[in-house]
Amino acid sequence: MNDDPLRALIRTIPDFPKPGIQFRDITTVLRDPAGFALAIDRMKAALAGHDVTMIAGIEARGFIFGAALAREMGLGFVPIRKKDKLPGRTIGMNYALEYGQDRIEIHDDAVGPGDRIALVDDLIATGGTAVAATQLLRSAGTDVPIAVFLVDLPDLGGAERLRAQGPIVHSLIAFEGH
Ligand code: AMP
């Protein structure tokens, strides 16, 4: 597992953005053409057989992987944005942060009943963002059968938290710790 080429391409930056956090930097995957392609190929393989009709990516790094995956699969892409960024009428979902709360939004006509959406982000930690994104997409009447992440931090329990909401949760790589 440790000789996984994708894993080797992820750079760990200690104490960013604050002390104690091991930041898993995926820009080193993106700048490597074979590594970026491998990540998208593996995400595509994870979605095989799930009859997905659309990809939704979480701001900001979920846009990069999600949009590339959507293009690769011939599907549409929906950006899930932080609050007050989208120009049209939106629907949103609030979620708790360590201190305070945040909000994610989509356009109110971006998705609807009949859509089977794969949720994509670079990393799942506590799962707070992905759970809120799943609830937001479902509040628009869609199905979210699967969520795909480049990295899982299993010690933080996010994948389990998201699974409890129903989606299959697939990660390409896991890192111990925070
Ligand atoms: P969470 O809601 O706790 O699952 O946090 C997930 C979001 O925060 C993702 O969009 C990640 O990009 C970012 N994130 C959280 N922890 C890390 C980390 N250790 N390294 C890189 N990104 C992280």
pLDDT in tens, 65-92: 999 999 999 999 999 999 999 999 999 9
The residues lining ligand 1, judged by C-beta closer than 6 Å to any ligand atom, are 21-24, 58, 61, 121-130, 158
Which residues are part of the catalytic machinery?
A: 61, 98
Angle between helices 61-73 and 33-47 (to 10 degrees): 70
User: pLDDT for 86-100, tens place per residue?
Assistant: 999 999 999 999 889
How many whole angstroms from 125 Cα to the centroid of ligand 1?
5
- Indicate the SS3 state at residue 140: coil
User: pLDDT for 92-132, tens place per residue?
Assistant: 999 999 889 999 999 999 999 999 999 999 999 999 999 99
Beginning with the edge strand found earlier in the chain, give each strand of the sheet holding 168-174 in spatial order. Answer: 90-96, 101-107, 76-82, 54-58, 116-124, 143-152, 168-174
User: pLDDT for 161-172, tens place per residue?
Assistant: 999 999 999 999
Give pTM, 2 decimals: 0.97
Which residue owns the Cα nearest ligand 1 atom 5? 125
Contact yes or no for 124/162 (Cβ under 8 A): yes
- Six-digit token string for 8: 């080797």
How many whole angstroms from 61 Cα to the centroid of ligand 1?
10
Which residues have a Cβ under 8 Å from the Cβ of 160 and sit 6 or more positions away?
Answer: 127
Q: Which domains does the chain have, with CATH numbers?
A: 51-174 (3.40.50.2020)
How many whole angstroms from 21 Cα to the centroid of ligand 1?
10
Q: Which of 10, 129, 131, 150 to mutate to test the pocket of ligand 1 (most atoms within 8 A of CB)?
A: 129
- Classify residue 10 by its DSSP letter: P
Which residue owns the Cα nearest ligand 1 atom 9? 123
Q: Which atom of ligand 1 is nearest to the CA of 153?
A: 19
Which residues have a Cβ under 8 Å from the Cβ of 95 and sit 6 or more positions away?
Answer: 101, 102, 103, 104, 128, 129, 131, 132
